[in-house]
Amino acid sequence: MGVPFGVFAPQGWRMDLVEIADPVDQWEAMTAVAKAADAGPWDSIWLYDHFHPVPQPPEPATVFECWTTTAALARDTQRVNIGQMVGCNGYRNPSLYAKMSSTVDVVSRGRLYAGIGAGWYEHEWRAYGYQWPELRDRMGSFREGVEIIYKMWTEDEPVFSGKYHSIDKPINLPKGVRKPHPMLWIGGGGEQITLKLVAKFGDACNVGFGQPDLIRHKLGVLRKHCDALGRDYDEIVKSTNITAFPLEKGVDPEKATAKARGRKSTAEFLESGIVASSEEIGDQIQTLLDAGITYIIVYIPGVAYDHEPLQRFAEEIIPRFG
């Protein structure tokens, strides 16, 4: 079986819709990328769970909300899985998250990759009126939240009473379509809590930021947690994210990136990720697989404005790992 690839839809978080003025046109640009991925060899499309765009301090710009967008794209596509990298535990009560994800798994006919993480974007929390907890409390809430989500997906009368959250036999029907439950992707590399949660409850992890040495270390920690808990390490999907823009070999990078660059200078764009030939990008992906990664998730800069690199990636890179 080949290596599966996912791609981020341009929802605005990385200032990737700013060249489009009308919000309906922005939405359609994002949806067009999702549909293009659905028609190709991509296994999945991905969304960020953020409200503000990424620059700090943030500039005013469109960012489409993660879960409503997930549900909408589930109906706009037919084949690809749809995930969040990753859902923020602090933005939704975990029992509500479990109910929402169960619903969206049905809406998508079992194509949901349910992403969850502790959250980190402080100014966004405060702007939206969420209390910003100390790290120990944020992680404590996350640990309890993951257990509640799992219980609500797998038990008929789940009960949990913790320091941060509790449930008392909530009815969660339907529980979803995918069996035995929606696929749970846990993001983050925290060695004492997050990776232990992956070993105990996760179907997939996301670690390492595309850095081979860091990936090796984090996956080594995950393996130790799996051994301690009696979990089969090999049944967990090990993913990482990269930013890549494939170029035709020998082409002038300035001309090739002109449509996708938007307001960025050539230098800024070339520094935004791996802007290189398909062969060179493939070689770098191979180093990630050699480090233990089994799933690659790609962010393609400027894809809302230019689908050519999406198609080039699908035609020239993904088949190499098929």
Q: What is the pLDDT of residues 38-51, one digit of tens each?
A: 999 999 999 999 99
Domains along the chain with CATH numbers: 5-321 (3.20.20.30)
User: Helix, strand or coil for residue 181?
Assistant: coil
Average model confidence (pLDDT) across the chain: 96
Contact 93, 123 (CB under 8 A): no
What confidence tens digit (pLDDT) does each residue in 203-258 have? 999 999 999 999 999 999 999 999 999 999 999 999 999 999 999 988 999 998 99
**Backbone φ, ψ for residue 53 (5° rounding):** -70, 170
What confidence tens digit (pLDDT) does each residue in 146-203 have? 999 999 999 999 999 999 999 999 999 999 999 999 999 999 999 999 999 999 999 9
What pLDDT is stored for residue 208 in this prediction? 97
In a 10 Å sphere around its CB, with 0-12 CB exposed, 13-18 middle and 19+ buried, how is residue 109 labelled?
Answer: exposed
Q: What percent of the chain has pLDDT over 70?
A: 100
What confidence tens digit (pLDDT) does each residue in 265-276 have? 888 888 889 999
pLDDT at 1 over 80: no
Residue 206 neighbours by CB under 8 Å, 6+ apart: 85, 86, 115, 185, 186, 187, 188, 239, 240, 241, 297
Q: How confident is the model at residue 64 (pLDDT cuts 50, 70, 90)?
A: very high
What pLDDT is stored for residue 276 in this prediction? 94
Counting every residue, how long is the chain?
A: 322
pLDDT at 94 over 90: yes
What pLDDT is stored for residue 262 in this prediction? 80
Contacts of range 75-80, beta carbons closer than 8 Å, 24 or more positions apart: 75/107, 76/31, 76/34, 76/35, 77/34, 77/35, 77/37, 77/38, 77/45, 77/111, 78/38, 79/38, 79/111, 80/34, 80/37, 80/38, 80/42, 80/43, 80/44, 80/45, 80/111
The tokens of 53 are what?
């765009």
pLDDT at 52 over 80: yes
Mean pLDDT of 2-21: 97
Q: List the alpha helices (DSSP H) in the chain.
A: 23-38, 66-76, 94-107, 122-127, 135-154, 194-201, 212-229, 253-256, 258-261, 266-270, 278-290, 308-312
Residue 224 neighbours by CB under 8 Å, 6+ apart: none
Q: How confident is the model at residue 56 (pLDDT cuts 50, 70, 90)?
A: confident
What pLDDT is stored for residue 200 in this prediction? 98
Task: Say if strands 44-47 and 5-8 run parallel, antiparallel, or are unpaired.
Answer: parallel
DSSP one-letter string for 86-131: -EEGGGS-HHHHHHHHHHHHHHTTS-EEEEEE----HHHHHHTT--
Tokens 């596509």: give the residue.
77
The tokens of 72 are what?
């909408």
Residue 13 to residue 66: CA distance in whole angstroms = 10
Residue 86: asked if its preceding bond is cis (omega within 30°), the reply is: yes
Residue 53 to residue 59: CA distance in whole angstroms = 7
The tokens of 146 are what?
């993951």
- The DSSP code for 19 is T
pLDDT at 103 over 90: yes
